[in-house]
Structure 1
Amino acid sequence: MTQDHSLKLQDSAPASSVNKERQFKGLSLAERKRVRREKLIEAGIEVYGKQGFFSVTVKDICNEAKLTERYFYESFKKSEHLFQSIFLQLIEKLETTVMQAIFAAAPDSRLMVRSGLTALFELLKNDPRMARIIYVDAMLVQELHNQATIQESMGRFDRMIQSFVLLLLPDLQKSSGEISLVATGLNGYVTQVAIRWVMGGFKQSQEDIIAACEVVFEALIAKFMH
């Protein structure tokens, strides 16, 4: 073997080593980081959802995710930031599920109301972890209030209900400001019913909960259609 050939082999070794490190298990560094972040979010939903935010440590999350704590801090500066990411992800899922149910029931206004409410409360009952995170702990985690996360999420639901009202009553002769206030009131009503139901351990029947919420939507329809 010539000296030049030996030098070429030595030069290529570090590059090969780096390439293997970056493509470990077929994933790039960025992809591996994303996978670890998703594992932490899944672990957070499981642990926060069952034990509550204030009873859980970073170590608990890492144990559930089967990752070391250094990987936690690779993605999140502190527990509140993980909780915020989880909260926003669950809110988006809730919103999407409800809207899909509403559109699937169109154009029957009463069926749309029942379908939307059923989708909401079924999702909460079928996943108590989600229910606890959104309707119990999120109200108590100060970080979410400091960063206006709660207000922004409530605003999203206000706009969703506003769109729903306009879908139900396309010829409604009301200003956008009036409709916005009505939507806020409806959102607040449903939210408080959901909080009471979740904190009460889902003891009241789902049918009773849905019926209680239908009352205000039916009153709205009756008021604005006559």
Structure 2
Amino acid sequence: MAIPTRRYRGVSAEQRHHERRERLLDAGLDLLGTEGWARTTVTAVCARARLTERYFYQSFPSREHLLVAVFDRIAGEAAEVVLAAVAGAPYDARARARAAIAAYVELVTDDPRKGRITLLEALGCEALETRRRQTLHTFAQLVAVQARSFYGPAVASRRDVELTAHFLVGGLAELLIAWLQGGLEISRDQLVDHCAALFVAAAQIPGG
């Protein structure tokens, strides 16, 4: 849908479009993270954002595009906090692993909506599940890059590093799902410590 280009009360059309898009994303985050994907309809999102459907379709071709955009915004935030945590941690394998995992777990538990969207709601919606798989792959690549950078020539082959990274990232996601659903009676710190130990131990596994 075409977007008007004239200024209104000193605000450009691009700025107004950006602000409306952010309001729609905020509404999508709130609905998807509390009501679930099935109830996050275009009508409900527009009502929550206090915008008409005309403005919705100026920003998103469909409901699924909004859902994925909400997911992507959380994933981008997760990548930022994880990388910042690693950069600020001591140059020690366990310290860096713990900092990265703690940053992610904190993100998805301090705002439960983000955990529900990226870990739980993604399992029931095809568009979100597809994006979830793509994002897990991206984070596995990130872990592999960090491992090769930290361990240098001592690390296993590129293939083995990537296999291990996919295993660890996928396992962490499933562990968090079980924990968020109440299936594991452990504290957040215990969960983070255990996962950090697994990440460090995995680096010692010889390649095949």
TM, length-normalised to structure 1: 0.82
Are positions 1:181 and 2:166 aligned together? no
Which of 189, 192, 195 is the matching residue for 1:210? 192
- Distance in 1, matches of 2:119 and 2:69, equals 15
Q: Give 1:150's aligned amino acid.
A: R
Are positions 1:58 and 2:42 aligned together? yes
The answer as to whether partners of 2:108 and 2:114 remain within 8 angstroms in 1 is yes
Alignment of 1:90-129 (within 5 A): 90-129=74-113
Structure with greater Cα Rg = 1
Q: Give 2:91's aligned amino acid.
A: P
Question: How many equivalent residue pairs?
Answer: 202
Which of 72, 77, 87 is the matching residue for 1:88? 72
Larger deviation, residues 52-61 vs 95-104: 52-61
Question: Which structure 1 residue ranges, 5 or more long, are not aligned?
Answer: 1-20
The answer as to whether partners of 2:94 and 2:197 remain within 8 angstroms in 1 is no
- Distance in 2, matches of 1:214 and 1:34, equals 39
1:15-63 CA-partner distances (Å, limit 9, x unpaired): xxxxxx9211212222212211111001111111111111232222112
More helix by share: 1
- Aligned-residue CA RMSD (Å): 2.0
Runs of 4+ aligned structure 1 residues displaced above 4 Å come to none
Q: 1:202 to 1:66 in 2, by over 3 A?
A: farther
Q: 1:47 to 1:201 in 2, by over 3 A?
A: farther
Question: Which structure 2 residue ranges, 5 or more long, are not aligned?
Answer: none
Larger deviation, residues 79-88 vs 105-114: 105-114
